[in-house]
A and B are shown apart, each in its own frame.
Chain A
């Protein structure tokens, strides 16, 4: 499989559950991103990893916990979420050099009940 893949594509969870979102890129990139896309709001950058080190953390609540075990994989661990966390979560990757073009996965549609 090529490009950026995300699993699951849809997730429904209760506020007390713990779940994880997974992102995998097959492009040989060394930087990976998590974004939150909510209705009627701009794309919100959550986390950036470069060479497996977190280089950006935009004041995201601690109930979101990222993990980047290697340059091809990125996880977002979720626990005790709130209904307002319901959104489309997008993963993206890019090369550290080059023209800053980001390649996006299809997203995980998260619903928190």
Chain B
């Protein structure tokens, strides 16, 4: 069975500071890993994904994440936060073997202070 744990339901950073959102996963097969972002009154939008290959994945809006198998982690980072980054972020895992189920974390709300 797969699971996702996002550490911290709320994270607050100052504008220009490093953003670090933590995600740990559990999977019995090589996972596909995702970060989605949700802005108010909108659906989820894909930020980035890891399937195979390079473990450092770059996404949209300057975000990146690193797949660390030994730590079962897929933390999301951005060097310099912008006010427009304020949103809710979801980490997700799927089996990547043709199954249909993706397991989502509970979400982390990012606040950016001016």
Chain A residues proximal to chain B, CB less than 8 Å: 4, 6, 31, 33, 41-43, 45, 48, 50, 55-56, 90, 92, 96-97, 99-107, 109
Contact = CB atoms under 8 A, between A and B. Distances in A.
Given A96-B98, A100-B34, 8 more contacts: A33-B100, A42-B107, A43-B104, A97-B98, A101-B46, A102-B102, A105-B43, A107-B42
Interface in B50-80: 51
A106 B43 contact: yes
Contacts of A104: 36, 43-45
Contacts of A45: 101-102
B44 A90 contact: yes
A34 B38 CA distance: 16
Given A4-B43, A48-B101, A90-B43, A100 B96 contact: yes
Given A99-B49, A99-B51, A101-B49, A106 B101 contact: no
B106 interface: yes
Interface in B71-97: 90, 94-96
21 contacts: A4-B43, A33-B100, A42-B107, A43-B107, A90-B43, A92-B43, A96-B98, A97-B98, A99-B32, A99-B49, A99-B51, A100-B95, A101-B34, A102-B44, A102-B46, A102-B102, A104-B36, A104-B43, A105-B43, A106-B42, A107-B41
A33 B90 CA distance: 17
B56 to A, nearest CB: 17
Contacts of B51: 99
Contact of A106 (B32, B36, B41, B95): B41
